Amino acid sequence: MNGPKPMQAAIWAAPDPSASTWAELLSVSPTIIHTSFSTGFPLGAASALGPLFRDRAVHFLVMMSWSLEQPRSSEGLAQKAAAYLIDHPLHTVTFLCNTPREAQLLRANGCTAATINKNCLTDDTVFRPMPNATPVYDAVYNARMSPEKRPELAREVDRLALVYFYNALDGSPAEFHAIHARLRALMPRAHFVNQLTSDGCEWLLGPAINKVYAQSRVGLCLSPIEGAMRASIEYLFAGLSIVSTPSLGGRDYFFDDEFCIIAEPDPRSIREAVDALIARNIPRDYVRSRTLARVELDRRRYIDLVQDLIDRAGGTFQFEGRFWQCTRAQTITRWRSMKEFAETVATAVRDEKPL
């Protein structure tokens, strides 16, 4: 890596290997691991597994899960990567960024980075139009009930569906239920899809969520900053037009002005944008096909990047089939215990069996 002199090697601070983050073994020889930046894992699985494989060449592809466009975010991550690579000279780290700006910021700080939006890894076979479904909601918002998601911005939408889930990081189940009650009082006409339970609320699987999308006309994205926002690509795969507020993080990467509106973050603007998209009545199959054409470009970049790593290492493995296996089964975006994942990688490396 080029750039300023890195900080001390201890900065990358490997967490407890028994903790979890996203990780998938893409190739054994050469060893290539897909992982994701997350809290406690600034370099994804590398932060936990690096010391265990210090004597082996390993390529880590670290995908961004949160915006790097905030002040000093890219600098801090670059310093951690530089320190890690001092400790692990046989390893490489390539950051996969949700926006061109993120990639530019990391490269300016001496990192290897590519623009490959995380949403290209979402399985498009689960989320798709359902021609026989009858829309009953003007809009749907799939998001945690957290302040940063700003669900209250949708309170003027006439017929609104809210899909959500409980996250312990947002408080206790009792606190979650209190937030739920406050939003119900604020939006009495909205349909709160997930039933409450003693430990939070029911978890809806993809097909059930897709059914709600099929009953809705527009998808909402209302937070000011996050990562790629998986729900945004789910909406588009399901054929929904989108109303979004201005945002950082890359959820607008696959947006199309023909069926996506960036509205001001106030309830009236959101309602008016929803009404405008309903009036446009863009066919769902058209939204999906236009989106897939954009998504395929990033999927191809991902496949080519990994294949180039394999080819340059003298490997013979053809990666494209493995890519589709991982994305269709969604193992590429699965949380894994780092202890168990380390054992999986160690066994695969020892046996040198193709995946």
What CATH number is attached to the domain comprising 273?
A: 3.40.50.2000
Q: Which H/E stretch holds residue 302?
A: helix 284-312
Boundary of a domain, candidates 226, 247, 282: 282
pTM to 2 decimal places:
0.93
Domain shared by 194 and 242, yes or no: yes
One domain for residues 272 and 324: no
Same domain, 52 and 161: no
**Is residue 263 one of the residues assigned to a domain?**
yes
Same domain? For 211 and 346 the reply is: no
**CA pair distance 148, 233, nearest whole angstrom:** 19
Structure tokens at 339: 């202890």
Q: Is the domain of 42 the same as that of 88?
A: yes
Same structural domain for residues 99 and 141? no
Q: Give phi and psi for 353, each to the nearest 5.
A: -90, 135
What average pLDDT score do residues 302-321 get? 96
Q: Is residue 241 part of a domain?
A: yes
Is the domain of 278 the same as that of 151? yes
Are 209 and 233 within one domain? yes
Residue 234 has pLDDT above 50, yes or no: yes
Looking at the domain assignment, is residue 289 inside a domain?
no
pLDDT tens string 89-107: 999 999 999 999 999 999 9
Domain assignment present for 205: yes
Reported as a single tens digit per residue, the pLDDT across 116-160 is: 999 999 999 999 999 999 999 999 999 999 999 999 999 999 999
- Say how far apart CA 150 and CA 277 lie, in whole Å: 21
**Residue 103 to residue 237: CA distance in whole angstroms:** 25
Residue after which a domain boundary falls, among 255, 282, 309: 282
Residue 73 lies in a domain: yes
Is 288 a domain residue? no
DSSP assigned state of 195: P
Say yes or no: 209 and 237 in one domain.
yes
Whether residue 128 is contained in a domain is answered as no
Residue 15's pLDDT band (cuts 50, 70, 90):
low
The residue from 239, 256, 282 where one domain ends is 282
Mean per-residue pLDDT over the chain, rounded: 93
User: 178-215: per-residue pLDDT in tens?
Assistant: 999 999 999 999 999 999 999 999 999 999 999 999 99
Each residue of 290-303: pLDDT tens digit?
999 999 999 999 99
Average pLDDT over residues 219-233: 97
Give the containing element (helix H, strand E) for 294. Answer: helix 284-312
Whether residue 141 is found in the same domain as residue 263: yes
> What is the domain count for the chain?
2
Q: Are 153 and 97 contained in the same domain?
A: no
Q: Per the domain annotation, does 131 fall within a domain?
A: no
Q: Are 38 and 164 in the same domain?
A: no
Task: Determine the structural domain holding residue 144 and report its residue range.
Answer: 137-282
